[in-house]
Structure 1
């Protein structure tokens, strides 16, 4: 079963517009480490995250891999990004790139996770996946969600927004 680690940037994006439930479109176990939860402190994202976590999301941290994650990232303090990378280090399988995935907008976390063998996506990828996998989320609804996320702080370039909206419609 795939483990999907979600970083704070994606939780913020989806939480601000009340769409964290779209993460359920993934086949796998959603993992939101405690330091990631603690870093989402802006409303309404924090309240929406608390409600989402009540649905049984795993919140543990792979303590044994924090030092390695710190080393890989060159970080001085263990924080949200390091806990996501620790999860990747703990569950990555070189023979199966689908063993672990990361949902994040943080470029450093994304590049590092991908380099370690994880699949990566962003909050916009979550919306696209939900539109493709969920018969109840129409392309029109998905496009509205992408635009709402864009308006609430995760600003896209015009080209990137049209690409995300275009992928939803395909």
Structure 2
């Protein structure tokens, strides 16, 4: 089964607008490592994440790959990002050949995860996927969600916002 590692930037984006449940549009296990959860302190994201976690989200951290992830990131202090990449590395080293994915807005994490063979998306990709997969989420609702995320801190350029909105349609 696919493992989907979610970083703090995506949690912030979706949590600020109360749409963390859109992560459930993925066909796989959502993994939000404890250090990622610890970084999410801003309200209403923190409260929304607490409620979302009641669904039994995997919060495990692959300690065996933390040092390797730090090394790949140049020993930069990227906090929770290290645990997301450690999960990708652990998956890569396992015999399990199912897919692994990362949901993050962090460019460094996205590039590194993609280089390690993970599928990569952002909070906007989550909304697009939910609109495609969920017959109850209409494109007009998805467009509103994209615009709300944009208003709460992600601040897309006009071109990117229209592209995200266009993909929903």
- Bin the TM-score by the shorter chain: over 0.9
Q: Aligned residue for 1:116?
A: 116
Q: TM (normalized to structure 2)?
A: 0.96
Q: Aligned residue for 2:167?
A: 167
Q: Aligned residue for 2:88?
A: 88
Where structure 1 has 5 or more consecutive residues not aligned to the other structure, the ranges are none
Where structure 2 has 5 or more consecutive residues not aligned to the other structure, the ranges are none
* CA distance in structure 2 between the aligned counterparts of 1:57 and 1:131, rounded to whole angstroms: 22
In the TM superposition, residue 96 of structure 1 has moved relative to its aligned partner by 8.9
- Where 1:152 maps in the other structure, the secondary structure is helix
- Where 2:153 maps in the other structure, the secondary structure is coil
Contact kept? 1:93, 1:117, Cα under 8 Å: no
Shift in CA distance, 118/93, structure 1 to aligned 2, threshold 3 Å: farther
In the TM superposition, residue 58 of structure 1 has moved relative to its aligned partner by 0.2
Mapped pair 1:156 → 2:156 = yes
After superposition, the C-alpha distances for 1:110-165 in whole angstroms (9 at most, x for unaligned) are: 00000000000000000000000000000000000000000000100000000000
* CA distance in structure 1 between the aligned counterparts of 2:5 and 2:46, rounded to whole angstroms: 17
After superposition, the C-alpha distances for 1:80-132 in whole angstroms (9 at most, x for unaligned) are: 00000000000137999861000000000000000000000000000000000
Shift in CA distance, 140/78, structure 1 to aligned 2, threshold 3 Å: closer
Mapped pair 1:5 → 2:5 = yes
Equivalent positions of 1:88-107 (< 5 A) are: 88-92=88-92, 99-107=99-107
In the TM superposition, residue 75 of structure 1 has moved relative to its aligned partner by 2.2
Q: Mean Cα displacement is larger for which, 84-93 or 9-18?
A: 84-93
Mapped pair 1:26 → 2:34 = no
- Where 1:4 maps in the other structure, the secondary structure is strand
Shift in CA distance, 78/163, structure 1 to aligned 2, threshold 3 Å: closer
Q: Aligned residue for 1:139?
A: 139
Shift in CA distance, 129/95, structure 1 to aligned 2, threshold 3 Å: farther
Q: Mean Cα displacement is larger for which, 109-118 or 76-85?
A: 76-85
- Where 1:167 maps in the other structure, the secondary structure is helix
* CA distance in structure 2 between the aligned counterparts of 1:124 and 1:59, rounded to whole angstroms: 23
* CA distance in structure 2 between the aligned counterparts of 1:14 and 1:40, rounded to whole angstroms: 12
Q: TM (normalized to structure 1)?
A: 0.95
Q: Structure 1 residue runs of 4+, over 6 Å off? A: 93-97
